Amino acid sequence: MILPPTPSAIQDRPHRRLNPLSGEWVLVSPHRVERPWQGKVDAVSAAPIPAYDPECYLCPGNRRASGLRNPDYRGVHVFDNDFSALLPGTEPGDLAGPPYFRQEAVRGICRVLCFSPRHDLTLSRMSLEEIRQVVELWIAQMRELMRTYRWVQIFENRGEIMGCSNPHPHGQLWASSSAPNEAAKEDVCQRRYLQERESVLLLDALEFELSQGCRVVVENSHWVALVPFWAEWPFETLVLPRRQVHRLVDLESAEQVSLADLLQRLLTRYDNLFGVPFPYTMGWHGAPNEPGDPAHWQLHAHFYPPLLRSASVKKFMVGYEMLAEPQRDITPEAAAGRLQSLADAGAGSFRKDADR
């Protein structure tokens, strides 16, 4: 295994970092953190959220937009999305057209995963047992849908700033007959790394991160959450199991319990960063469901939070980022240091203020 050099020599100057999972570069501009901010400032909602909302499409017993009524569920709950982006009945096969207008049919299914009957909770405020039930739901859904679909994308959009119009704690699942762009890029890059180095990319990266420690945010006996060296978003994190695991369905019972602990601690630190329920998009990536040895794959979860300077200032991927390559101001090391300094439980934490 060849370990990468530390970036200390160029940490304070503009430099680029390669994301080995995507093969794409990220521009880091540490000197820009001193610039005054005159851009968009989003309002932070201070309105209290009730434990039950009679107008919520996701609360137990309520009628959804489709007219169907939710059962009076008491734990986790899953149902097919009433306005699914993918449909299971689509006929397979390529659709005729010139090579520069290539298209193909895709089959799939979309589901909504309710984490709790409580309308006013977030994962960070749920108990370890409640979070463990969410982990079990992810695994059960993936195990079922892997029998039919090549890719199962489990994800959560949290907060209005991420386009989530309903605060009820929930995530989504989109299963498809084809591997989407991000999964395909990660598959190619991890496979190439194994062929060239005869080792697993994310396990080598994890070993190096643990030896350095400067980007590690939370860890326990089975899991590590860290700000990746190549992070694009200001407080982005990567969640990794310590041993090689190809897919969520391969997690052992102890690892599932340990994952609940790590998620609660990581998300509480996020909440404590700016003193608000922290918005993010998160999702799981594991080996696609296809023939062949997935030895190059390591299961991981991405957390992409948009907040930059405060609870009301968002990082936008526009201009240079859309036309050239992603760019960030605060270094991953500085972001990790901020998260490391925060409480993940107990007195003084935002989580304590939010206790039920």
Per-residue model confidence as pLDDT tens digits over 178-197: 999 999 999 999 999 999 99
- Cβ contact 275:227 at 8 Å: no
What's the CATH number for 49-353? 3.30.428.10
**Torsion sign, CA atoms 77, 268, 326, 193:** negative
Residue 50's pLDDT is what? 95
The three-state (H, E, C) secondary structure of 235-253, written as one string: CCEEEEECCCCCCHHHCCH
Catalytic residue (choose from 77, 119, 168, 170): 170
- Collect contacts of 144-149 with beta carbons under 8 A, ≥24 apart: 145/109, 145/173, 145/175, 146/247, 146/249, 146/289, 148/175, 149/107, 149/108, 149/109, 149/175, 149/176, 149/177, 149/289
CB atoms within 10 A of CB 125: 22
- Cβ contact 344:278 at 8 Å: no
User: What is the residue whose two structure tokens read 């007195």?
Assistant: 347
Token pair belonging to 286: 């594991």
Q: CA nearest 123: which of 254, 243, 246, 301?
A: 301
Residue 302's pLDDT is what? 98
Residue 104's pLDDT is what? 85
Query: Which residues of the chain fall below pLDDT 50?
Result: 1-3, 5, 37-39, 41, 346-348, 351-356
Per-residue model confidence as pLDDT tens digits over 25-82: 999 998 776 655 444 545 556 678 999 999 999 999 999 989 999 999 999 999 999 9
| In the chain, where the domains are located | 49-353
Q: Left (φ > 0), alpha (ψ -120 to 50) or beta: where does 144 sit?
A: alpha
Q: What are phi and psi of 309, to 5 degrees?
A: -110, -25
Residue 34's pLDDT is what? 61
Residue 42's pLDDT is what? 53
Residue 41's pLDDT is what? 46
Active site residue 170: yes
- Cβ contact 281:153 at 8 Å: no
Residue 266's pLDDT is what? 98
Count of positions (residues) in the chain: 356
Torsion on CA atoms 59, 62, 65, 66, rounded to nearest 10 = 120
Residue 356's pLDDT is what? 38
